[in-house]
């Protein structure tokens, strides 16, 4: 029996993500938690004729405890999104505390669950989550993931726009580093099957993957950031975790993880100087089986992008850790 929780279930990402999880045959119980509207969202989804039983919880009546107890996987899209002109780091002030509180809930009520953090700034919220779990004595780096799948999805889509490939997801493109601007580094030289990107299109392509989030924020004109594509991406990653848990082999997807805590991660942490980093992860029945080193085989142009990534990412990571160690 698999119990999945969506924390932030009433939001722009939370609702379509919950719909996808309700449609997933791998989920038996779907628990929706938010500070508003979960009874309505749960009632609505509960009429869908799929096996998963849906329940909705609010903070009152010990709702967080009820929502989280017994969870196998907790997906967290709770928190405010960007408006035009904002960086993801501008969300830190509000979202850091929200993520801290929810992870304390995980530590108290479902410490063995897989945790998928979507809330921005991911570069800082995942270190916050790790620090909270460490303090609670239940940090398992093989089960904590920053969801960077939307960057991969964008890279696949934008490359297909150039190559003409009908099905974008047929090309595997490692997108590594972090999840904001220059910390996002697509490695097109390692696409499989290989793709031929004309030299005069490369810079614009890299830039579009790095700043794809801004494209959506601008188009939504103050009404938020990517929600539907993020729900797709979050579901794609959650489904891979669940399939690996059920024993499917050879599942690989990039994710932002704590490198020193996972097999193969130490040497990547040494090369990058970053303890948290997104790299392709092989998933298994216990979460991360190994981190795959694609950093050392980056080409010269990609190495330059990586240098810029390391600087920004290190400061985002320290900011998250500092928030928990020395509360403001």
- Whether 179 sits among the annotated catalytic residues: the reply is yes
Stretch that binds ligand LMR, among 33-41, 134-142, 167-175, 209-217 (CB under 6 A): 209-217
Handedness of CA 284, 112, 136, 123 (dihedral sign): positive
Q: Does residue 82 interact with ligand LMR by CB under 6 A?
A: yes
The correct pick among 3, 4, 6, 10 for binding ligand NAD (CB under 6 A) is: 10
- Closest alpha carbon to 79 in 58, 103, 96: 96
Residues 117-136 that bind ligand LMR (CB under 6 A): 120
Name the β-bridge partners of 276. Answer: 258
Contact 78, 98 (CB under 8 A): yes
Residue closer to ligand NAD by CB (options 52, 122) is 122
Query: Comparing C-alpha atoms, which of 78, 141, 129 is closest to residue 104?
Result: 129
We find the least distance from the C-beta atom of residue 3 to ligand LMR, in angstroms, to be 27
Secondary structure letter of residue 285 according to DSSP: T
What is the distance of C-alpha 326 from the center of its chain?
A: 25
How many angstroms separate the most distant Cα atoms in the chain? Answer: 59
Question: CB 13 → ligand LMR: shortest distance, Å?
Answer: 9
Q: Judged by CB under 6 A, does residue 179 bind ligand NAD?
A: yes
Using rule CB under 6 A, residue 35 touches ligand NAD: yes
Instruction: Single out the catalytic residue among 179, 255, 278, 289.
Output: 179
> Mapping DSSP to helix (H, G, I), strand (E, B) and coil, where does residue 95 land?
helix
Instruction: For residue 254, state whether it binds ligand LMR (rule: CB under 6 A).
Output: no
Q: Which residue has the tokens 């940090």?
A: 139
34 lies in the site for ligand NAD, by CB under 6 A? yes
Of 254 and 284, CB closest to ligand NAD: 254
Burial 38-49 (b: 16+ CB within 10 A, else e): beebbeebeeee
Name the binder of 217 from ligand LMR, ligand NAD, none, CB < 5-8 A by kind: ligand LMR
Rounded distance between C-alpha atoms, residue 213 and residue 225, angstroms? 7
213 binds ligand LMR (CB under 6 A): yes
Tell whether residue 222 is among the known ligand binding residues. no
**Binding positions for ligand LMR, rule: CB under 6 A:** 81-82, 88, 120, 150, 179, 213, 216-217, 225-226
């Amino acid at each position: 029996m698999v119990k999945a929780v969506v924390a932030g279930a009433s939001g722009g990402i939370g609702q379509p993500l919950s719909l996808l999880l309700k449609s997933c045959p791998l989920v038996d119980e779907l628990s929706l938690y938010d500070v508003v509207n979960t009874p309505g969202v749960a009632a609505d989804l509960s009429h869908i004729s799929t096996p998963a039983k849906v329940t909705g919880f609010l903070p009152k009546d010990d709702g967080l405890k009820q929502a989280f107890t017994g969870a196998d996987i907790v997906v967290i899209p709770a928190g405010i999104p960007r408006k035009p002109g904002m960086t993801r780091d501008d969300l830190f002030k509000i979202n850091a505390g929200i993520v801290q509180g929810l992870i304390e809930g995980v530590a108290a009520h479902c410490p063995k669950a897989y945790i998928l953090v979507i809330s921005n700034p991911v570069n800082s919220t995942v270190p916050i989550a790790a620090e909270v779990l460490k303090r609670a004595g239940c940090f398992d780096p093989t089960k904590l993931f920053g969801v960077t799948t939307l960057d991969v999805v964008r890279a696949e889509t934008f490359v297909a726009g150039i190559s003409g490939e009908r099905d974008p997801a047929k090309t595997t493109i490692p997108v590594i580093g972090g999840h904001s601007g220059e910390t996002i580094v697509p490695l097109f030289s390692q696409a499989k099957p290989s793709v031929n990107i004309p030299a005069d299109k490369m810079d614009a392509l890299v830039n579009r993957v790095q700043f794809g989030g801004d494209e959506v924020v601008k188009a939504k004109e103050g009404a938020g950031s990517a929600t539907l594509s993020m729900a797709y991406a979050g579901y794609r990653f959650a489904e891979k975790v669940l399939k690996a848990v059920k024993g499917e082999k050879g599942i690989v997807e990039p994710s932002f993880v704590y490198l020193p805590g996972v097999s193969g991660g130490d040497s990547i942490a040494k090369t990058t100087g970053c303890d948290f980093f997104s790299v392709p992860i092989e998933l298994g029945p216990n979460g991360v089986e190994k981190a795959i080193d694609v950093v050392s085989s980056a080409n010269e142009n990609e190495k330059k992008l990586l240098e810029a990534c390391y600087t920004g990412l290190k400061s985002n990571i320290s900011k998250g850790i500092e928030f928990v160690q020395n509360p403001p």
